[in-house]
A and B are shown apart, each in its own frame.
Chain A
Amino acid sequence: MALFSRGGGPAPPSRTEPGSEELGSPAFHHLVETLEKEPGRKYEILDLGPASGNHIEFFSRFRCRFHVASLEETLAEWRWEEEEQPPPEPVRLLPLAGAARFDLILCWDLLNYLDEEGLALLAGHLHTHTARGAWMHAFVHTRATMPARPGRFQLMSPERMRWLHGSAETAPAPRYAQRTLERLMPGFGVWQSRLLQNGLQEYLFQAV
Chain B
Amino acid sequence: MFDKSKKATGEAAQSPAPVQPAAPKASPGGGQTTTIGPSIRLNGELTGDEDLLIQGQVEGNIHLKEHNLTVGEQGRIKANAYARTITVRGELIGDLTGAEKVTITASGRVRGNLLARTVILEEGASSKGSIDMDAKAEAPTLQAAPKSKSA
Contact = CB atoms under 8 A, between A and B. Distances in A.
- Chain A's interface size range is 20 to 34
Contacts of B135: 60, 63
A65 B121 CA distance: 16
B5 A77 contact: yes
Interface residues of B, number: 31
Contact of A66 (B3, B126, B133, B145): B133
A17 B104 CA distance: 25
Contact of B141 (A60, A70, A95): A60
A198 to B, nearest CB: 19
Contact of B120 (A50, A53, A69): A53
Nearest to A43: B133
B136 A63 contact: yes
B92 to A, nearest CB: 13
Interface string A65-79: 111111001100100
B127 interface: yes
30 contacts: A42-B134, A42-B136, A51-B121, A52-B144, A53-B120, A53-B121, A56-B131, A56-B144, A57-B142, A57-B144, A60-B135, A60-B141, A60-B142, A62-B133, A63-B133, A63-B134, A63-B135, A63-B136, A65-B130, A65-B131, A65-B133, A66-B130, A66-B132, A68-B128, A68-B131, A70-B127, A70-B128, A74-B128, A97-B1, A98-B1
